[in-house]
Amino acid sequence: MIPGLYQDRSVEAMAWAINSTLRNIGKTVFFCGMTVNSLSSDQIGDFKSLVADLNAGKVDWLIVLNANPVYDAPTDLEFTSAMQKAKTVVHLGLHEDETESLAHWHIPAANYLEFWSDARAYDGTVSMCSPDRSACTEERRRISFYRVTRRTGG
């Protein structure tokens, strides 16, 4: 059982206890010696604060990067109605989704074949990822720029 990358410590402890009870550790579950992408903030608390600020009218611009909070946010936070109180909502993502459909602007994101990146394997090996050659051309960047869409009306 794997709890997920951004879960709370209590969820990680529960997953460890279940894997320990099932004797999975060392057989099907292995641990990496280093912390990867550790987050120093309380994400749920930060998200609740954002919703409160949206509801209070304190947010002029909301920029959503590669996420779909209209679909993923806890229902009790009523994010959809809160998001609609922002003056301008910009969505950058690979797909048209629930958040994109309510945003004022949608910017298509580059996929993994179109940008430089890095990766770390479970054993700690660091790798570099390079873009597909065709994605590096000026023409491709120009086409992507013109694909930005603006929502008007209801």
- DSSP class per residue in 8-54: -HHHHHHHHHHHHHTT-BTTTB---SS--S---S-HHHHHHHHHHHH
Does residue 37 belong to any structural domain of this protein? no
Query: Is the pLDDT reported for residue 32 higher than 90?
Result: no
Query: Is the pLDDT reported for residue 12 higher than 80?
Result: yes
The SS3 assignment for 132 reads: coil
Question: Residue 48 belongs to what domain range?
Answer: 42-150
Asked if residue 71 and residue 24 are part of one domain, the reply reads no
Over residues 48-103, the pLDDT tens digits come to 999 999 999 999 999 999 999 999 999 999 999 999 999 999 999 988 899 999 99
The SS3 assignment for 141 reads: helix
Query: Is the pLDDT reported for residue 113 higher than 80?
Result: no
Mean pLDDT over the full length of the chain: 81
Does residue 68 contact residue 109 with C-beta atoms inside 8 Å? no
Query: Is the pLDDT reported for residue 24 higher than 60?
Result: yes
Does residue 90 contact residue 61 with C-beta atoms inside 8 Å? yes
Asked if residue 91 and residue 125 are part of one domain, the reply reads yes
Asked if residue 5 and residue 62 are part of one domain, the reply reads no
In three state form, how does the secondary structure of 52-115 look? HHHHCCCCCEEEEECCCHHHHCCHHHCHHHHHCCCCEEEEEECCCCHHHHHCCEEEECCCCCCC
Does residue 61 contact residue 86 with C-beta atoms inside 8 Å? yes
Going by DSSP bridges, is the β-strand pair 117-120/126-129 parallel, antiparallel, or unpaired? antiparallel
Over residues 33-52, the pLDDT tens digits come to 655 555 667 888 999 999 99
Asked if residue 104 and residue 75 are part of one domain, the reply reads yes
Does residue 36 belong to any structural domain of this protein? no
Asked if residue 82 and residue 8 are part of one domain, the reply reads no
Asked if residue 81 and residue 146 are part of one domain, the reply reads yes
